[in-house]
Amino acid sequence: MVRKPTSKESARKPNMREAILAAAEELFATNGFNAVSVRDIAQAAGANPGSVTYHFKTKDGLLLEIYRRHCGPMNLRRSELLAAAKRVRDLQDRLEAIVRAYVVPAFTSGSDLAGGGARFTRLRAVMSAEGNEVARKIIAQTFDDTSHAFIDAIHESLPHIPRTDIVWRSHFLLGALYYSLVTPDRVSRLSRGEADGSDPANAIEQLVQATVAAFQAPALDQAAPTRRRQAVSNKT
């Protein structure tokens, strides 16, 4: 890949800017936004703190650029995979394909950004937990369309389930997805070393399998109303 100089617009040394972005992504995703200082990021990237200000103006601007960098490619890939999944004939297979189309891009690389998928998804999880304002705005703008597309697709392959239930279950899916990326070591620990929580392929298969079953659960209203809510009380 030989990037020609183009005299204008582009940088002479794009490495530094990329290094800062990568370092910030990694640090934000593991420690949260406020726990990481601009100086931490600069040091991790082998840059001067002033460089961060030069390229991204503010710390928020840096976070914003990270989102801009990833949102497009990830949503594009999800759209492609979703389109392919919707062409699957068998309803059961189609549901699984749809879920996979949602999960896979979150775990794997979104484009040419090395290993960016999982790292960016983890970043989103942490920003979401921290209630980060910058992230919240972008998320609502960028991901809600995609989420609705997936919810609609799932609804089509499970017409007997109310849309509300599907929303809840896809919400659970995202939560499980996030959490798997946030604390993969917990899986290894609780399984006493038998499972590797850090293995993306493993996580994907487990998540898809469990989620498909969750989506196929009977709807809440019609769920065996004769025997519910016994043996465990709701309030003390």
Partner DNA sequence: TGATCTTTTGTACGATAGTACAAATCACAT
Partner DNA sequence: ATGTGATTTGTACTATCGTACAAAAGATCA
**Counting contacts by CB under 8 A, is residue 81 touching a copy of itself?**
yes
In angstroms, the CA 93 to CA 215 distance is 13
**Where in 35-54 is the site for DNA (CB under 7 A)?**
36-40, 47-54
**Counting contacts by CB under 7 A, is residue 135 touching DNA?**
no
- Crossing angle (nearest 10°) for helices 91-107 and 59-86: 160
Closer to a copy of itself at the Cβ: 3 or 192? 192
3-class DSSP state of 223: coil
The piece of 9-17, 44-52, 53-61, 181-189 that touches a copy of itself (CB under 8 A) is: 181-189
Least separation in angstroms between residue 17's CB and a copy of itself is 24
- Crossing angle (nearest 10°) for helices 14-31 and 49-56: 100
If binding means CB under 7 A, how many residues of this protein chain bind DNA? Answer: 28
Q: Residue 6 half-sphere exposure, CB side, CA atoms within 13 Å?
A: 10
**Counting contacts by CB under 8 A, is residue 161 touching a copy of itself?**
no
Least separation in angstroms between residue 1's CB and DNA is 16
Closer to a copy of itself at the Cβ: 11 or 219? 219
If binding means CB under 8 A, how many residues of this protein chain bind a copy of itself? Answer: 83
27 phi and psi angles, rounded to 5 deg:
-70, -45
Closer to DNA at the Cβ: 54 or 168? 54
Q: Look up residue 191 and give its DSSP letter.
A: T
Q: Who contacts 74 (Cβ-Cβ below 8 Å, separation ≥6)?
A: 105, 106, 110, 117, 120
Q: Which of 51, 73, 166, 179 has the alpha carbon at shortest distance from 124?
A: 179
**Counting contacts by CB under 8 A, is residue 174 touching a copy of itself?**
yes
Residue 133: contacted member of a copy of itself, DNA, none (CB under 5 to 8 Å, by partner type): none
Least separation in angstroms between residue 42's CB and DNA is 8
Please pick, from the candidates 17, 59, 77, 119, the single residue that binds a copy of itself as defined by CB under 8 A.
77
Using alpha carbons only, what angle is made at residue 104 by residues 157 and 25, rounded to the nearest 5 degrees? 135
Residues in the chain: 236
Least separation in angstroms between residue 105's CB and a copy of itself is 9
Closer to a copy of itself at the Cβ: 17 or 77? 77
Q: Look up residue 235 and give its DSSP letter.
A: -
Number of H helices and E strands in the chain, helices first, is 10, 0
Residue 220: contacted member of a copy of itself, DNA, none (CB under 5 to 8 Å, by partner type): a copy of itself
**Counting contacts by CB under 8 A, is residue 33 touching a copy of itself?**
yes
Least separation in angstroms between residue 10's CB and a copy of itself is 25
